[in-house]
Each structure stands twice: as structure tokens, then as C-alpha cells.
Amino acid sequence: MIILQALFDYYVLAGQHWINKNHNCLLNIEELEWIDDKLGFMEENQGITYWGILKTDLSKINPIVWQCFNADQLEWYEESYQLREFLITMWKWTITEQ
């Protein structure tokens, strides 16, 4: 499976850190999956929300993250964050919710 370098580096550096499994869960590398045209890499703890990266953006250094809600038909929305900012924001959010 193709995985962009920034996401791979994050997995190596912090993929197993508790903060990535506390609420919004970073999928294990072997769990990464294509959802529509997005590489799904994170899901909310109740399986309601998913985050992914466009297949066409996998070669970008810091791609935009997309979000969808688990409903009868998935509707994707562009997040206001690129991958690096998104991951930092998830850390900050998780720490403040403790």
C-alpha cells in the first residue's frame, strides 16, 4: 500500500503513543483502508467519524485532511487543516479533554 512519507514518519515516531488511541484513534498501519477515494487513517472512538487523505494527494508533503461521518452515504468534508496541523490539533484536543 502506498503511504505518504509524512504519515509514515508520524507512525514511526508516535504511532503507538497513548494519545493516538485515547479518543480519536489512529489506525494501525495494517488497518489503513481506502474509503471512497481517501486513505482512511483515523477514526473517532465510536466509529462515527473518519479522517482520510485524497488518493491524488498522497505524493504531497503535507496534504489536506478530509472528514466524513458514518451514515447511509458517506459525505466527505475538507478539514481546515493539513496533515501536520491536524495531528498537532488532535494532540492538543486530547490533552485538554483529559
Joined grid coordinates for residue 1: 500500500
Biggest distance spanned by C-alpha atoms of the chain: 36
pLDDT digits (tens, 9 = 90+) for 59-72: 888 899 999 987 77
* Domain housing 65: 5-96
Name the domain count of the chain.
Answer: 1
pLDDT > 70: percent of the chain: 95
pTM summary value: 0.86
Question: What rounded mean pLDDT belongs to the chain?
Answer: 88
